[in-house]
Structure 1
Amino acid sequence: MGAVHAKAPPSGTLRDSQPTGIKTTSTFAPKKDDNVIKLDIDKIPVRVQRIVVDGLTRTKDDIVIREIRPLLNAKTFDELVHLSYNAKVKMERLGVFKNVVIAIDVSKDNREYGYEVLFEVQEFRRIDGGIHTSISNNDGSLDFQLKMPNILGRGERFSLDYTVGTKRTHGYSAYFKKPLNNNPDIFFGSTAYQFHGEYPWSGYKQTDRGIAFDLTFPTILGSHNIQWEGVWRDLRALTRDTSFSVREQAGHSLKSSLKHTFTIDTRDDPILPTVGMLWRTSQVQFIFRKHFSVLDIETFFNFFYYNFPSYLGQIFQMSLAGGLMRTLDPVASVSISDRFFLGGPLTLRGFNLKGCGPHSHDNALGAESYWLAAAHLYSPLPFRPGKGRFGELFKTHFFVNAGNLGNLDFSGCSKSFLCRVCVKMRWSYGCGIVLCMGRIARLELNYVVPMRVQKGDKANPGLQFGIGIQFL
């Protein structure tokens, strides 16, 4: 793009304003203050004479033209650099290119203020795949994936997955995703799947076969997702000791649901954030066997902020969650696979996994409403071993959490029920160590002291280990 003579690029000059991924050359003048030439690229006029995109094979021209067209309206060199960078980021986020490199040079026809822009693009392979491990909430899995990115030339993506979990779970799925209106934040998705899982805390196993269609789009307030799902479910007793309360729900059922999820996420890290908040609310309307309808509303709220000077590194966190479901038919009941459960290292610490609430012969039955609250204090390790290195991944953890669950009788007094679930709440406190595994998962080893336990609960005092993505 020619030679730029400067002693050092101060703030606002070419080097500071240039985003990564753009090729430039610079020649520095001798270190004499009298010969220093400072360039303000905000005032360098440009006329874009030519734009070249090299490396296109199956990507459609209209997708690329739409992203690079704004470059023709650039008036200054600074504007040209930033418009080029924005086009690069947009095309990479759309999933049409694996890598985009930009080169800006003076026009070959020597016109005044004339420039040419070259986009060197690298498309994804037509068929790709791999084997990797993933971590969910207190579970790990081995995933086999075959994917076809940019399959139709406009950022579409198709993938086939087969998953085997550590807790006798397995399943496979086919997923298709298409961005809409050249916007990577607005997309349509569809999936077909089969999943088999075992749920020993409730004494049953279930196979789901279903299809789903969803639409995701952002707004000023947050992100919305609207999904329709149809599932054929086969619920069976896990062992001969499964209680009758669970066995009577065994068999085949059909579920059709319409779900809306609203999310606001301003966290700086999804695993162990230091600042920001997460608000997620979902409403689900689902129908079984065309006999009755269930309205399910669940809200999850996380708020993170610094409560101490930043040089001390403490993080204070508050979390709230709650859910409520009801049948529109008063004589109908909710399936055990749709109810809420509490307990375990990811939700209400100090209790066994799904160990809170009503049980029948050691099988957790769940409930139709719940609430959870927690306060956490994270701090660096004492004396800061490994400061600036591996030691930064560890945090000490102090917490207090409380919650309750139950079935709300809408025909009776709701006020008395709310008083009961608050007065008879379960709660515990403790401390431990947290290991943050990048953006993959986090591990907790805590010593927990349950302070209030209800009849039928399965408390777990002492050391408790948890691994997952989302902790309350």
Structure 2
Amino acid sequence: MTNTEEEEATPPNPKNYTQHSTNDDVEPRDDEDIEEDQENDEDDVVQEPNRGIPQSAASKLREQRFKVETLSRRLSSELVPIRVHDVVINGNTKTKDWVIEAELKGIENATSMQELMQASQIAIAKLQGLEIFDSCMVRLEAGPRELPNTANVIVDVVETDNKVSGEFGIYTKPSTSSWTAEGALKYKNLLGYGDLCDASLAYGANQATEVSVGVYAPRVKGFLTPIVTRISMLSQDWQESSSYKERLLGAYLGLISTKHHDLAYTLGWRTLTDPSKMSSRSIRRQLGHGLVSSLKYTFKIDRRNSTIRPTKGYVFLSTTHVGGLTLDPRSLRFLRQEFDVRFSVPFGFYNTALNLGISAGAVFPWGNGFKTKPSPLPERFYLGGDFSPVCTLGGPTTLWGFKTRGLGPTEPRRQNRDGSNDDNVDSSGWDFIGGDFAVTAFADLSFDLPIMWLREHGIHGHVFAGSGNAAKLTKNEYKHFSPRKFLESFRMSVGCGVVIPTRLFRLEGNYFYILRKGEHDRGKTGFRFSFSAPS
């Protein structure tokens, strides 16, 4: 910034100045002219210092301070025109130049000093967001003398020496009485594209295990958006609620990822098994292998002031998932649509806010004879779980007070020959088979607690109410669907509790009271803890 101001008040060429001040052929001037010139020289002492006389440290400091103050006054009172002549990048030994240049687009288009300063701050934030540099600095230097009002932008980066990092954590899920251990090993900038390569393992007791490797490249030449690829093997155990196990081996490719739009393709091989040999008829008919070839598009507008504790704004999320994009007859053909809407209304006292939300979704098979075919079992809607709908999006899933996959359409399990159920599965004798259409809604009133220490740490109270339901529509079940019966059979729960927000998740200690539940639903009144990550 200082160098740029020097350019705007660039002194004459020192040689010319010396020649002018030592020219013996100059006509003599009277005393008045000399006094006038001396006064002008005093006014412009900073702009035209005598380069022949060494300056003291104090004089240089005064000169620099005057220049900074002058530039500051100009920046606050008027637009200072400037044009970027060149961008020079230093310090990148492995990172490709175009990766850094892609984050500097705003700098190259700046037309004033104010725009250039703002664009430089944004560029630094973007470069630091790549997480491959220990430090990033943008300097401005005067451009060529023959090009006035120009500047050269110097970008100095220091690539990180510690390219390998790891993460490990153990997470509990009180709503399912289970826990998950997750670990990841990451390597930064392996290819020089600002990429992040990682291998991760997640092991969940009695429920899910996932092994995956992936590459995330935020900048790839010729592509406008980041590229994400991932190969994974996922195994999930749903025997307790639905009498089957799921295993999926597949690949994921992120095609578009912007602020509001995401498009991804998944190709995988899914296997459903029933180790207990007791599953209900609907589940037995879908056991075996299936090819997953699907495209998923997500549109999101988020205007909330916080994802952990929103007190103002709204969010809208739409997800469209199309499966069966191959000619293979074993490909699972389905169309799934979800909507999420959240509103936060501030009250203006004690940081009180009312959060309202509704989620809805539907899934249907497509292809020849789709009216008589069932929707794929894993793509249906399963309600339940104590995850907070205030910060969690992703379709109709959460309903306070009910266990995960703890309500919705059910079918009786097959009995053993001796008339007893297997000890490894739930003794209720019913499978939750999911719904083709589901709706959930909630209201949550949050407020600060009357203790200073709790308010300073964001710990607050809330009271809430939630409801939801799911129904079958496929295999001609839509002929028996009644909107009135669907609304009358809505499950409902209310409660209150304390919320402890953190940077990564939302911890809640809540007391639930079930107002309405179905005959085979798994929900009960009581106190429970829950963890919810924002989405």
Larger Rg over CA atoms: 2
Taking structure 1 as reference, are residues 216 and 269 closer, same or farther at Cα in structure 2, changes over 3 Å only? farther
Corresponding position: 1:398 with 2:434: no
- Deviation string 1:240-284 (CA, Å, 9 cap, x unpaired) is 665565445333322222222211122222222222222111122
Change (3 A) 1:184 1:265: farther
1:399, distance to aligned residue in structure 2 (A): 1.0
Q: Deviations over 1:270-314 (max 9, x none)?
A: 2222222221111222238537622211212222231x11x4211
2:293·2:332 contact (CA, 8 Å) conserved in 1? no
Residue 296 (str. 1) matches residue 336 (str. 2): yes
* 1:84 and 2:148 matched: no
Q: Identity of counterpart residues, as a percentage?
A: 24
Structure 1 residues 327 and 99 mapped into 2: Cα distance closer, same or farther (>3 Å)? same
Partner Cα separation in structure 2 for residue 273 and residue 403 of structure 1: 22
Partner Cα distance (1:276, 1:238) in 2? 48
Structure 2 spans left out of the alignment, 5+ residues: 5-61, 388-397, 413-428
Pairs aligned (count)? 438
Which amino acid in the other structure matches residue 304 of structure 2? R
Seen in structure 2, the aligned counterparts of structure 1 residues 317 and 135 have a Cα distance that, compared at 3 Å, is: farther
Find 2:303's aligned residue among 266, 270, 274: 266
| Cα distance in structure 2, aligned partners of 1:470 and 1:277 | 14
C-alpha separation between the residues in 1 aligned to 2:533 and 2:220?
Answer: 32
The answer to whether 1:332 aligns with 2:373 is yes
Structure 1, gaps ≥5 residues long: 5-24, 30-34
Which of 318, 323, 342 in structure 2 is aligned with 1:286? 323
| Higher relative helix content | 2
Asked whether the equivalents of residues 220 and 227 of structure 2 are also in contact (C-alpha less than 8 Å), the reply is no
Q: Distance in 2 between matches of 1:251 and 1:127?
A: 43
Can you list the C-alpha shifts for 1:213-251, whole angstroms capped at 9, x where unaligned? Answer: 222244xxx622222212212222354665565445333
Aligned residue type for 2:345:
Y
Q: CA deviation at 1:413?
A: 6.3
Q: Deviations over 1:162-215 (max 9, x none)?
A: 222355532211212334577998223221111122223223222210112222
Paired AA for residue 466 in structure 1: S
Q: Which amino acid is the alignment partner of residue 174 of structure 1?
A: V
Which residue is equivalent to 1:129?
A: 165
Among 207, 215, 231, the alignment partner of 1:176 is: 215
- Measure how far apart 1:101 and its partner are: 1.7
Please give the per-residue CA displacement for 1:42-92, whole angstroms capped at 9, x wherever unaligned: 455556676543211012223444555765665543333223223323333
| The one of 351, 372, 395 aligned to 2:440 | 372
d(CA) in 1 for partners of 2:194, 2:70? 47
User: Which 10-residue stretch deviates more, 452-461 or 152-161?
Assistant: 152-161
Give the structure 2 partner of residue 407 of structure 1: 472
Residue number among 240, 254, 264 corresponding to 1:227 in the alignment: 264
- The equivalent residue for 2:96 is 60
Shift of the 402–181 alpha-carbon distance from structure 1 to 2, 3 Å rule, reads same
What is the TM-score of this pair, normalised by structure 1?
A: 0.80
Task: Report the counterpart of residue 405 of structure 2 in structure 1.
Answer: 354
Instruction: Say which SS state the counterpart of residue 314 (structure 2) adopts.
Output: strand
Q: Which amino acid aligns with 2:406?
A: G
Are the aligned partners of 2:241 and 2:405 in contact in 1 as well (CA < 8 Å)?
yes
Tell me how far apart the structure 1 counterparts of residues 254 and 320 of structure 2 sit (CA, whole Å).
Answer: 14
Bigger shift: 139-148 or 369-378? 139-148
Q: Is the counterpart of residue 460 in structure 1 residue 499 in structure 2?
A: no
Question: Deviation per CA, 1:389-413, whole angstroms, max 9, x where unpaired?
Answer: 33x2x22111111111110258576
Partner of 1:161: 200
CA distance in 2, matches of 1:63, 1:420: 58
Name the CA distance, whole Å, in 2 between partners of 1:336 and 1:274: 37
In structure 2, what is the Cα distance between the partners aligned to 1:144 and 1:67?
31
Q: Distance in 1 between matches of 2:407 and 2:376?
A: 18
Among 433, 438, 451, the alignment partner of 1:384 is 451
Contact 1:266 1:277 in 2 (8 A): yes
Aligned to 2:495: 430
TM-score (norm 2): 0.71
- Are the structure 2 counterparts of residues 120 and 247 from structure 1 closer, same or farther at C-alpha, using a change threshold of 3 Å? same
Quote the Cα distance in structure 2 between the aligned partners of 1:319 and 1:110.
62
Seen in structure 2, the aligned counterparts of structure 1 residues 47 and 280 have a Cα distance that, compared at 3 Å, is closer
Residues 196-275 of structure 1: pairs in structure 2 closer than 5 A: 196-199=235-238, 200-218=240-258, 223-237=260-274, 239=276, 243=280, 245-275=282-312
Q: In the aligned structure 1, how far is the partner of 2:226 from the partner of 2:71?
A: 48
* Higher relative strand content: 1
Quote how far apart the aligned CAs of 1:156 are: 3.1
Residue 190 (structure 1) aligned with residue 229 (structure 2) = yes
Deviation at 1:469, TM superposition (A): 1.6
Amino acid corresponding to residue 145 of structure 1 in structure 2? A
Q: Quote the RMSD (CA, aligned, Å).
A: 3.7
SS in 2 for 1:267: coil
Q: Bigger CA drift: 36-45 or 168-177?
A: 36-45
Q: Secondary structure at the match of 1:201?
A: helix
Farther off after superposition, 399-408 or 178-187: 178-187
CA distance in 1, matches of 2:480, 2:277: 40
1:386 counterpart SS class: helix
